[in-house]
Structure 1
């Protein structure tokens, strides 16, 4: 760090004046107390920032800051994982908590496991960093099947899509380690791809999800001796997926898709499955950051909440969109007027019944 000569000169002058006024012993005591107070204030501020773990950190060159959201994050020693009501994360299937990682599936045939966050995410812009490891005894193309990272409406629903349900609603990012399609020449596996679904699409296993993927890239992630990371960023309806799998601590682009519309209130999770071929699929950490991004008034109008996932310029089969949830006042008014209408109908029915009885008696006499 460069030395500030002007500041040094001013502070030296101040010390000289104090020495002349207070004498050889008094000036040093006063200056030492001043330095101690200043250093103590700085140390207290540093401890507060480190202890909170929630301080903002600027990302990139623009006005974008990130905040770690602990309720959606997971790291060692995995104290928030379990089946209790106070747990933030739930395990499913063959998933197990180990000391250094959470194993979704072991290197054994026909296993299936998942890890799901119990808290729905209502963030507008976010970034999910995934630290994972895939390894096993299988040789080339004799291992499988991979893992998936989810942001979906439903959670804890086992199924055939990397251990999760088919026809899901939301976003799926797949780290596919085994090529199912024959004559696979255009791409090298393992392969990362992404899919947005409104509940109408099925994942095509025979074609490795090609008909419905938004994009993808090759990612050699098996049996590496260094850490592997994946980041999913969703900002201003712009989906970006990057990876750090070369041991260089640098993000490399994989998928970038504009016009992705994801509802708020969905759940984060990760899952894996093995069949005749297998691998160890481990998750070391999941860290979710809230991103604060400036928006123009025009962007605020365009980026309103949606109720079904979709992608601009990509035709998805139409499904009936769910109605927005009713507010407390609207629900009260509906119940109130329903009761009033019911009472009114009962009163009218009683009056008509009494008149009918009177007419019946007159005919009888």
Structure 2
């Protein structure tokens, strides 16, 4: 198990196969979980896990999605959430990005960094020898004492999922004094979000945009616009009055 509070994992991987135009699948998953790897339906591992999962999904199961694949997404679970494979995990996804990592003729890498409650996922899949940001999420709580792992899954289609290396680095980060009293092994995996992932709607780039405006949102926008107009009018009146007083002094 890993007892580091701040860490960074570098994964050298390769996903490849002869299948063309979505005739391949399903993808690779990287785990930081309470349980050692247990076979199951989520990219070869168990569902309702405790911890963090990073999915490298190569096949769109949801035909209605506008998301561009291959797609990388993050999920944090305290054992209560179920991964919906038919929707490509969209309801429990925290954040994600499109990354063209399949069938590349060069090395492909992924970095997962966790430090002071911030989760960052970066890719190096374009043969540029530089990290490209994919996920940057604050408010993530992960305990120590969990296990790193990797798994892959196939269905009616197949692909090759190779893990070439996994390297873990300790990050030297200062923590507040109050953190010394925390038992990091007892922390419940969680994420502090302003909104639920279920409120997210796909856009063609694979990112999220907000859902349609509701009546309350329209009302608040109109109210803010009205207040802005009133403030501008008051400021304009004050400026005009001061100019009038200044002009009177010259008569």
TM-score range, shorter chain: 0.7 to 0.9
What does the per-residue CA deviation read over 1:92-112, in whole Å, with 9 as the maximum and x for residues that have no partner?
xxxxxxxxxxxxxxxxxxxxx
1:291 aligns with 2:159: no
Q: Distance in 2 between matches of 1:303 and 1:236?
A: 13
1:237–1:303 CA contact under 8 A, matched in 2: no
Give the corresponding residue for 1:247: 127
2:141–2:187 CA contact under 8 A, matched in 1: no
Larger-Rg structure: 1
Give the corresponding residue for 1:260: 140
Unaligned runs of 5+ in 2: 197-251
Partner SS for 1:206: helix
Shift of 1:213: 0.6
TM-score, with normalisation over the residues of structure 2? 0.74
Choose the corresponding residue for 1:209, options 89, 94, 97. 89
- Root-mean-square deviation (CA, aligned residues, Å) is 1.7
TM-score, with normalisation over the residues of structure 1? 0.52
Q: Distance in 2 between matches of 1:238 and 1:156?
A: 24
Give the corresponding residue for 2:64: 183
Give the corresponding residue for 1:309: 189
1:192 aligns with 2:192: no
1:128 aligns with 2:16: no
Give the corresponding residue for 2:160: 280
Shift of 1:124: 0.6
Shift of 1:174: 0.2
Unaligned runs of 5+ in 1: 1-119, 317-365
Q: Going by fraction, where is strand more abundant, 1 or 2?
A: 2
Partner SS for 2:137: strand
1:129–1:288 CA contact under 8 A, matched in 2: yes
Q: Distance in 2 between matches of 1:315 and 1:122?
A: 30
User: How many aligned residue pairs are there?
Assistant: 195
Bigger relative contact order, structure 1 or 2 (CA pairs below 8 A, ≥6 apart):
2
Give the corresponding residue for 1:140: 21
Shift of 1:149: 0.3
Give the corresponding residue for 1:54: none
Q: Going by fraction, where is helix more abundant, 1 or 2?
A: 1
